[in-house]
Amino acid sequence: MTAEVKNYIKAQSRFPPRQIYQNLMQMADDPQFEKTDLHTITRQQVYNVWVSITRNEWERDATNDFRSAQLLIGEQDGYRLIEELQEPGVSLAFVTPCFSDTTKFRREKMTEVFIDSTFGTNKHGYELYCVLTEYDLVSLPLSYLLLDTRGIQEVGKRGARLTAWFVALRNAGLKPNFVHTDKDFAEVTAASIAFKRTNPAYNHHLCLWHSLRAIDQHVTGKVKASVFDSIDNARNSIQTRKCSAEDARTLRAMISDIF
Cα-only R_g, the chain: 24
pLDDT at 88: 93
pLDDT at 227: 47
- Burial (CB < 10 A; 0-12, 13-18, 19+), residue 208, is exposed
> Which residues are CB-contacts of 28 (< 8 A; sequence separation ≥ 6)?
38, 39
Integer Cα distance of 18 and 44 in angstroms: 9
Per-residue pLDDT of the chain (259 residues; tens, 9 = 90+): 788 888 999 999 999 999 999 988 888 777 777 666 777 889 999 999 999 999 988 899 999 999 999 999 999 999 999 999 999 989 999 999 999 999 999 999 999 999 988 887 777 888 999 999 999 889 999 999 999 988 888 888 889 999 999 999 999 999 999 999 887 788 889 999 999 988 888 998 887 777 777 777 766 666 665 544 554 555 555 455 566 677 666 656 655 555 4
Do residues 122 and 92 touch, judged by C-beta distance below 8 A?
no
> Which residues are CB-contacts of 231 (< 8 A; sequence separation ≥ 6)?
225, 250, 251, 254
